[in-house]
Amino acid sequence: MARAAVLGRLTWRVGTVRAVRDETPTARTLVLDVPGWPGHEAGQHVDVRLTAADGYTAVRSYSLANAPDADRVELTVQQVPDGEVSPYLTQALAVGDPLEIRGPVGGWFVWRPGQPEPVQLVAGGSGIVPLMAMVRAHGTSGGRAPMRLLYSVRDPASALYRAELADRAASDGGPEVTYAYTRAAPPGWPRTPGRIDADLLAAATWPPEAGPSCYVCGPTGFVERVADLLVAAGHEPTRIRTERFGPSGGSP
Amino acid sequence: MNTETPAHLDGNAAAGALREVFAVDLTTAAGRCENCGRTVVLAEARLYTRAPGLVGRCPGCEAVLFRVVRGPDRTWLDLRGLTCIEVSLPDA
């Protein structure tokens, strides 16, 4: 079991949008200044609360995208069609606006740079966000644990953080990154578009004998399929940690 | 994570609601399912959020482990399906 430090009462804080970055036509990153932010670990998330003029509130969870940082919080939000919260966060919220958040929360789906074993990340669509925090934490900590990322996306244009992942993959000790395209692959791509299967998993991920910790994040169906494939390949179920965000984000 | 209209999520998504009540991160705690006896890390419970509140179910047998309902100025917490919760508390 992960350590559970005794924490103070969780309260809402008002952050301020310092910058926004468009990641894809339907996803953007919010960079927030949050006074009193206690810091976080890679893989944790925050709750975001929106309050309407009539007092109606909506709370949603969003993974933290940046490496642990003492005073800055980054959330990458994928717009969900007909969503109640994400259209506001991806379209209306502007630099200088306030945003209520609380956290960080969740100590289970977390990678710590001190972990020595190989790391296998498997992302579906915007499930890349908490895994990107791990990739970034790995980079900033000079982590020695070897890391691989298998990233399933519909097509090249819907991949988040593509340029940064390429840079990190090219750097010394950086992660090995493999894309799996489900709908449309770049010209000349060697694999026919399709879902991750046992063959691709065997080719692009650590074998069970390497004893990796596996982190799988994406839509519910994706996560359950990949977790089943990992177990079938011989990975210890207890070494596989999963995070689902529901089916509505579209199949990656 | 992006929790718009999901079927079910992970217990991890209840971390905020539970941390309002408990001084520890309960999602890393291990709980025993009263129905099937399985030990479940609460982060791995199946969390349903379309109810008025949050309902965590056992990933093995789907029995209700816990329910959390947040109202104005109060929280209702029902732990009916958990016979025991083990929390890591290092002797600091």
With cut-offs at 50, 70 and 90, classify the pLDDT of residue A6.
low
B86/A109 Cβ within 8 A: no
Closest CA in chain A for residue B42: A108
CA B74/CA A16 separation, integer angstroms: 27
Q: How many other C-beta atoms are found inside a 10 Å radius of the C-beta of residue B58?
A: 23
Mean pLDDT computed over every residue of chain B = 87
- Residue-level pLDDT at B15: 86
Phi, psi for A6 (deg, rounded to 5): -75, 130
Are A105 and B7 inside 8 Å of each other by CB? no
CA distance B87 to B81: 17
Mutant choice from A30, A109, A126 vs B, greatest count of B C-beta within 10 A: A109
AA letter at A84 = E
pLDDT of A209 higher than 90: yes
| Predicted TM-score (pTM) of this structure | 0.89
Neighbours of A238 (CB within 10 A): 8
Residue A218 has pLDDT above 80, yes or no: yes
Average pLDDT over residues A55-80: 90
Average pLDDT, chain A: 91
State the pLDDT confidence band at A83, using cuts at 50, 70 and 90.
confident
ipTM for the complex? 0.78
Q: Is the dihedral of CA B48, B51, B55, B57 positive or negative?
A: negative
User: Is residue B28 within 8 angstroms of chain A, CB to CB?
Assistant: yes
Q: Label residue B69 exposed, middle or buried (CB < 10 Å: 0-12, 13-18, 19+).
A: middle
What would the pLDDT profile of A143-170 be if each residue is shown by its tens digit? Answer: 689 999 999 999 999 999 999 999 999 9
State the Cα angle at A127 between A121 and A131, rounded to 5°: 40
Placement of tokens 């940690």 in the chain? A241
pLDDT at B37: 96
- Out of A109, A126, A248, closest to residue B6 by CB: A248
Q: How far is A190 from chain B (nearest CA, A)?
A: 30
Q: What is the distance in angstroms between the Cα of A134 and the nearest Cα belonging to chain B?
A: 14
Confidence of residue A70 (pLDDT cuts 50, 70, 90): confident
